Amino acid sequence: MTLQWRENFAEDIMTYTWTGAQYGIGFGSALAIAISYDNNHSILWAIIHGFFSWLYVIYFAIAY
């Protein structure tokens, strides 16, 4: 995550905008992969659960 700074000289206003990651896996996918691999010790299941990301994380939180 980076902080970008722009200065608007016409209105004398400083504007700050936050930009996050645009490419790659998100936090939900990484969390689902870690939980899945820790439970199943299977890379295939970790990839499948990473694809479903937050759905698997919520399922895991409810089921266990």
pLDDT tens figures, 4-52: 555 555 555 656 666 665 667 899 999 999 999 999 999 999 999 999 9
What single letter denotes the amino acid at residue 56?
Y
* 2-8 and 13-19 beta bridge pairing: antiparallel
Domain ranges of the chain: 24-64
Question: Model pTM greater than 0.85?
Answer: no
Beta bridge partners of 6: 15
Compute the distance between CA of residue 52 and CA of residue 25 in angstroms, rounded to an integer.
Answer: 12
Alpha carbons 57 and 2: distance in angstroms, whole number: 27
